[in-house]
Amino acid sequence: MHGATTRRGALSALLATALAAVLLAAAPAGAKQPEDVVLNVGHRGASGYAPEHTFAAYDLALRMGADYIEQDLQMTRDGVLVVLHDETLDRTARPTAESGPGDCTGLVREKTLAQIKTCDVGSWFNEAYPQYARPEYVGLKIPTLEEVFQRYRKSVNYYIETKSPEAAPGMEEELLRLMDEYGLRRPAAERWQVLIQSFSPASLQKVHALDPSLPLIQLFSGTETSETIQARLDATAAYAVGIGPSKDDVDAALVGAAHARCLDVHPYTVNESAEMEGLIATGVDGMFTNFPDRLDAVLGESAIDGRKRAAALAERANDACRGEEERGRRASNGT
Ligand code: G3P
Ligand code: CA
């Protein structure tokens, strides 16, 4: 669906171009320029239409034009990274005939992979969203991160979140081990094939210490404001390439302050077309959405053709900003 022209998309492109011209004139040297790519991140896959964090939701997101598919990580008692948003199984998992008592309730980190693999994470969706229900969602399993890598290999871009990392020691090391096993570490560094995100600065700083070349996104919770996030940008820029604020905290001041530090801005979770248009006009560099088709339609012809190209262009723009910033710093130091 990338490249589809819509009247709304054309209007949005016009608005974005006009605002970009204004922001460009005001941007300090070395600042990230606002005319760059807007990345379409399928939040838990196309989770508005299919059960979150299932292959059905990921496949659909990719068909709908998502540049990235998102994974939230939890770790099982036996140390396996699985893809599930909540720390507990209760909201989205249902027992099946294979399940023992309690296998599909409670904390993921207190279950073995074998227990978790008995659970069905599709049925809840059919009950909650009958308008999108499909019989084939019944019985869908929680994927491991390794199964996600095995299915898509290097054909997609991954946007991976370390969830509650303080409760799962070793999560970051295991993530990097799997990225190494599937040959994803270098393409992550070179062309943002994997972006690693977290609400936890400590988790991202740990990844940064393990491998400073990896691109990291610092998430900020909805309890923050534009101002409180701005106050943390200098510290964030020491290890991250971008920020993930709640959509309600994004304004021109935050985008300008982030771009002045070469930090990309990827708000979450943006589901309405009008909100998407507003955020694009504010100059964001991408966004998480449960409805990647809507963002693709809003972007229209300005959507980048090809997800690999989109990620590579985003990396290049960020890298160019950092290069210019460094040259500016050296020039002012006379070195
Ligand atoms: O990772 C971006 C966004 O997903 C953060 O919120 O709770 O949906 O993981 P959450
Ligand atoms: Ca997330």
Report which ligand 1 atom has the smallest distance to the Cα of 266. 2
Mean of the pLDDT values across residues 214-227?
98
Q: Is the CB of 242 under 6 A from ligand 1?
A: no
Kindly give the number of the ligand 1 atom that is closest to the alpha carbon of 72. 9
Q: Given ligand 1 and candidates 52, 85, 161, which is best to mutate, with the most ligand atoms within 8 Å of its CB? A: 161
31 versus 219: the higher-pLDDT residue is: 219
Under the banding of pLDDT at 50, 70 and 90, the label for residue 35 is: low
| Mean pLDDT computed over every residue of the chain | 92
What does the pLDDT read at residue 57? 99
pLDDT tens profile 297-332: 999 999 999 999 999 999 999 999 999 888 888 898
Residue 266 designated active-site: no
- Among the listed residues 85, 208, 259, 266, the single catalytic one is 85
Strand duo 216-219 + 157-162: pairing: unpaired
* pLDDT tens digit sequence for 237-256: 999 999 999 999 999 999 99
For residue 5, what are its two tokens? 């022209």
Q: Which amino acid is at 12?
A: S
Judge whether residue 26 has pLDDT over 80: no
Q: Are 267 and 245 in contact (CB under 8 A)?
A: yes
What's the confidence (pLDDT) of residue 18?
46
CA 264 to chain centre: 12
Q: At residue 219, does pLDDT exceed 90?
A: yes
Q: Which residue has the tokens 């290999």?
A: 153
Report the C-alpha gap between 54 and 97 in whole angstroms: 20
Domains of the chain, each with CATH number or no CATH: 10-87+143-333 (3.20.20.190)
- How are beta strands 68-75 and 81-83 bridged, if at all? antiparallel
Secondary element (H or E) of residue 219: strand 216-219
Choose between 195 and 20: higher pLDDT.
195
For residue 333, report the distance from its CA to the centre of ligand 1, in Å. Answer: 40
How many angstroms separate the CA atoms of 123 and 139, rounded?
7
| 232 CB-near residues (< 8 Å, 6+ apart) | 218, 220
pLDDT in tens, 125-151: 999 999 999 999 999 999 999 999 999
Cβ of 268 below 6 Å from ligand 1: yes
The 10s digit of each residue's pLDDT in 275-306 is 999 999 999 999 999 999 999 999 999 999 99
Residues 170-174, mean pLDDT to the nearest whole number? 98
Cβ atoms within 10 Å, residue 171: 24
Question: Tell me, what's the pLDDT at 335?
Answer: 76
Does 125 contact ligand 1 (Cβ within 6 A)? no
Mutate to test the pocket of ligand 1, among 41, 68, 216, 268 (most ligand atoms within 8 A of CB): 268
pLDDT for the residue numbered 12: 45
Task: Write down the pLDDT at residue 30.
Answer: 59
Q: What is the percentage of the chain residues whose pLDDT exceeds 70?
A: 90
- Going by alpha carbons, the residue nearest to atom 3 of ligand 1 is 268
